[in-house]
Structures are given as structure tokens and as C-alpha cells.
Amino acid sequence: MTIAFTNARLVLPDGVVPGTLLVRDGAIVAVGSAETISDLPADATTVDCGGKLLAPGIVDCGVFRVDREACRRGGIVRVALMPDQSPVLDDPGIVQRAALVGKPDLWIHPLAAATRALAGKELAEMAFCQAAGARAVAIGRRWIADAQVMARVLSYAHDLGLVVITHAEDGGLVAGTVATAGETATRLGLAAAPAIAEALAVARDLLLAEETGARVHIRQVTTATALDLIRAAKRRGVAVTCGITPAHLHLSDNAMSDFRTFAHLSPPLRDESDRRACLAGIADGTIDVIASGHDPHGPEEKRLPFADAAAGMAGAETLLPLSLMLVRDGHVTLDRLFALLAANPARVLGLDSGTLTRGSPADLLLFDDRVPWQIDGESFASAGNTPFDGLPVQGRALRVWKGGREL
């Protein structure tokens, strides 16, 4: 099957250009201007993009729940599934089932648990899980406190050629807390941990990664001190990448005022200076990935006292418009944004996707970056607990293709 996408604004790795994209048998075979692709096959199906933006489908690196319709609405074609499932993704049979369940509409790339039951004690069967379809190893929501265990995880993953995806919060400091220490937490009377809990975890894991030669991806980095540590490590040649969610780019801990449990996240929201440091980290390239952190919870888990409510938010449907705010505010260009949303997370996971280049899978997102709408959690395909409920935004997915097949 051949499809010609015409009259498009193509989001390419080096900029946005008007042009045509040709897909054959699920892969991109030509990218260029209408003149350079003038001889379209007679049997080609033509999709007139109407001058809208055609970009790589989003690769969402680190979701806790798979919501196919939410992903389709958000322009997401691939997700890296965190091992914190029931049962935990620490067995090759479970990993294999997770990898197959979404196809062909949504490709799920399981992240195998680094330790059995994510308990942080015994190493899981990483090699068998890799053979079953795991694209990386992850420690889950909780930090591995034992440095010796973490060193073994990194060393074993290095030997297998797998990246280790970490959660950066020192477990001893954050135990029993729900917020970042500061004025907001004090005023609300919430149990809080200092922001350096993140930097302490990052510092240890960076040193262990440097010692073992392992690749490490810190799933969420949200503080200025941790970002400085990562910048220094990158300069030394440590194989480290890091990510963030739109919530930590657009919200500070002031969003928790009035005990808004929809703003109870993990890691917790930080103060304004850290939020601004994260925006600087996006602009200067320190942060490599923007992910949704999709972790929706129903009212039975959210409509509770703040300290008792589950941490997490629905993020799949709002990932695109909230990320486009960074373009409108001048922090990144559109091509750089799709490196953060697609190319870089694909590279972290070792996937041959995330760009509009010849030979790549035809994972495509047609979207309008200017259409205005208002976020309404009640209309979400998943549980709609979002701290952005009611926010006016711009940008929405119009059509999505996975391997040339429209979803």
C-alpha cells in the first residue's frame, strides 16, 4: 500500500518545511518538496494535509497505565510501560504479553523490572526479559537504596546493552512525605522533603553509571541542583540522559494551594526557581525527553485528604498542547520539540523511529498547532485527574498513523 501525504508542513530533524511524504508498505520511502516527488505511483492513496503539520508520532517514555484512546487523542503511537504493574514486569512471560497486547493500534515497549517485585534486593532476570521484548530496565517508582544492588543492576544492564531508567528521590529523605519542603508545604502543614533528595539520588547513580560504564536515563529531573549534576556528568562523558513532564515545566508547588490533590505528583511539584531552572534545561539541551508521566487515578483515589491521595496525573491527552506552549514561549523550536517528544525517547529505547526520514516506520501525527481548546478532565478517555483542568491551550492531534495504518 502506498500513501502520499501532500500539502504538509513537515517537521523534520533540521526544521519545518512544506513538502510531500511518501509511504510504502508501512515505511517512509521519500521526503521532499512536491517537485522532487512529482511522479507519484498511480495506485497511491493521497492524503491532503491542508497545510497542517505532519510530524513523527510521539514516543511516550515511561507511562504507568496503557490507555489506547487517550494515546490516540494525544498523538502517541508508542509507549514505554513502567514495570510497576500488577503483576510486576519481572518475568519474561509477563513482559511478552505486555509487548503484544497493544498491537497494532499502539505499540507497547515494556520496561523490565530491575529487581524482583521491584523490592530493590534481588536482581530480576533481565536477559530473559530482554529476549521477551523489554526495551530497557527500570527501577520503578522507588529508589534502590542499596548502592551495591544498584551497581549490580547497572553492570548487568551494561553487559546486556540495556539502558537503566531510574527514579531520582532518596528514599530515606522522602519516606512519608507528599510535598517539597518550602513555604507552600509549611503553610498547608504537609509532610515534606527537601529538594536535595533528588540531587542526592542523581549524584549517586551518576557516579555508579560512570564507574560501570552503563547507560542511565533519569526519568524525571525537576531541580536546579540535579540538572547541574547532569550537565557536569555529560561533560565528563557519562552516558546519561534525562526527562521531565509538562507539569514540572509549567507548574510550581503553588498549584497545590487549597490542597488540590490533582497537583499531588511524584516527584512533587517544586518551587518557582526550580521550575525556571527546568525551562533553562530544556532550552540548553540538558533535558533530553519530555514525557506525559501518564498515571491516571479515579475519584476514589484522588478525592481524599492530600496526604492520603494517590500521586499521579492523566497526561497522555495533554502532552502535545502543553509541550507546544514551550514553542510559543520561545524556549524551543518545533523541530527541537519533536526531538524531545519522539526522536530522543526512541533513541533511549533503541527504536528505529521518531523521525521523518527514509526507511523509518511511518508513525505519523498530523496536528494543528493553532486550534484553541480548553482542557476538560471530565471528557478524557482515561480518568481525568489533571492539574491543568480548565486551562486554555492551543494545538491538537487531527489524525494518527502507526506503520502507515490510520488509527
What is the model's pLDDT at position 1?
A: 84
Report field, pTM of the whole predicted structure over 0.75: yes
Average pLDDT, the chain: 95
CATH of segment(s) 57-352+368-395: 3.20.20.140
Q: What is the pLDDT of residues 136-157, one digit of tens each?
A: 999 999 999 999 999 999 999 9
Share of the chain above pLDDT 70, in %: 99
Q: What is the pLDDT of residues 47-72, one digit of tens each?
A: 999 999 999 999 999 999 999 999 99
What is the model's pLDDT at position 318?
A: 97
Domain ranges of the chain: 57-352+368-395
Q: How far does CA 152 lie from the centroid of its chain?
A: 26
Q: What is the pLDDT of residues 6-21, one digit of tens each?
A: 999 999 999 999 999 9
Q: For the residues 254-275, what does the mean pLDDT come to?
A: 96
Most confidently predicted of 16-20, 204-208, 380-384: 204-208
Q: Give yes or no for residue 35 having a pLDDT over 60.
A: no
Q: For the residues 125-133, what does the mean pLDDT come to?
A: 97
Q: For the residues 18-43, what does the mean pLDDT come to?
A: 82
